[in-house]
Amino acid sequence: MRLFGPPRSLTRRPSAAFCETLAFRSKGHIPDFWTSHDGRRNFVTLSYRNITMTPFTSRPINLALVLLLGASAALGATEEAAAPAPMFVRQGERLTVPANSPLRSRLVVAAVADKTSPHAIGIPGIVEADPTLVVNVLPPLAGRVVELPVNLGDPVQKGQLVARLSSGDMAQAVSDMEKARDSEKLAKQALERARGVNQAGANAVKDLEQAQSNYSQALSELNRSEARLKSLGISDDAGAATSALSIRAPVSGTVTSLSVGIGAFANDPTVALMTIANLDRVWVTASVPEDLVGVVAKGQHADVSFPAYPGELLHGTVSSISALLEPDTRRNKVRLVFANHDGRLKPNMYATVALQVPQSRQVVVPTSALLMNNDKTTVFVEVQAWTFERRVVELGQEDGETVRVRSGLASGDRIVVRGGILLND
């Protein structure tokens, strides 16, 4: 009988697995025997480095007995180790967490409650200048720009010079005023003379009446020409050679657009030279979707945040609601008014308007309690002390770290609000 088969030589290097199998009960040497081709029994000395065969001279040790003893010792060591406590025990649809389970220190169970607090709906918005404080500066007469003392973005005060034009029409208006002034003076002298003659009885009444009519017409023409110059910003004592047309700011504000430069001809009186906007008060315009128009009302409270100023909120109320929907976006414009004396709110700046929409009483749970099971949203409900069952819920609006539950839970139910993923097998 051969235990391992005849080796090719009396000394050779065994495999590691071979050595470990035979040497696990000793410190590197196990005596055994094998039978060679010539029938002689040889003594085997096993080490992790080599195998040496010598003639058998002592009592043989059965290899099977050695292996059996090793297996018995390993089995005993396994049985001596205490079995770990289960994380939870399944009983049908229920999961019970034993008293010695480590899950008890990791699960957080709390009762849910219902609330009636309003729900905040975030709507995109944009900062706009108040249209009632935006003025387009138009040239009253055609002419060429000879002076432009302001630039885009400059603050200006009401009455400040913002442009000067050289205009032939301006010279004509001044000339008409001078002619009207002279005609009025001459007509007044003629009227006084006619009165004196009439008092002396040297002329007819109709001559006095004609002189009175001529004076009234001359006075009307003078008033018209003076009013014309005043509308152009020219004083009554301007000389006849004046052709410079001074354009002044009609309101205080900031130059938000500029469309001319020095030397340009302003021939179209309907095209603005520049736009001045007073930004001390601005609008935040929110575009409300059509399906939410019914929940927005004038005077409703809203919180406004800006990407330019993270963490800051402005509190305001809805001041106006557009009577028409935008035909291309199917949205309704809702406006809130804010003071802007420091100029931090700039037109065309993006904003998010959170409108507070009233809600009916509903159960509210933290989002950490929600678990996905296939395509359904579930929570673990405590039906007994440390015994839970999975329940499907229907969700409503989400408010930050909480969410409203339309169905599936009742006020007072205790659920796993943290660590439920450990039960989600």
**Beta-carbon neighbour count of residue 362 at 10 Å?**
19
Which of 3.30.300.30, 1.10.287.470, 3.40.50.300, 3.40.50.620 is the CATH number of 168-242? Answer: 1.10.287.470
Half-sphere exposure of 60 (CA within 13 A, CB side): 16
- What local confidence, expressed as pLDDT, does residue 236 receive? 58
Half-sphere exposure of 151 (CA within 13 A, CB side): 0
Angle of the 168-199 helix axis to the 205-231 helix axis, nearest 10:
160
Give the separation between CA 367 and CA 378, rounded to whole angstroms.
Answer: 11
- What local confidence, expressed as pLDDT, does residue 399 receive? 79
**Both tokens assigned to 253:** 């504000």
Give the separation between CA 251 and CA 131, rounded to whole angstroms.
Answer: 13
Residues 6+ positions from 83 with CB-CB distance below 8 Å: none
- What local confidence, expressed as pLDDT, does residue 303 receive? 93
Same fold, 95-117+361-422 and 276-357: no
Considering the domain 95-117+361-422, what is its CATH architecture?
Beta Barrel (2.40)
Sequence spans of domains, the chain:
11-80, 95-117+361-422, 168-242, 276-357
- What local confidence, expressed as pLDDT, does residue 238 receive? 52
- What local confidence, expressed as pLDDT, does residue 58 receive? 40
- What local confidence, expressed as pLDDT, does residue 334 receive? 95
CATH number of 276-357: 2.40.30.170
Which mean pLDDT values do the consecutive 10-residue runs of the chain (425 residues) have? 42 45 42 45 41 42 48 49 73 90 92 84 93 92 92 93 88 85 91 86 83 91 87 62 81 93 89 94 94 89 94 93 92 95 93 86 92 92 94 88 91 93 83
- What local confidence, expressed as pLDDT, does residue 83 receive? 59
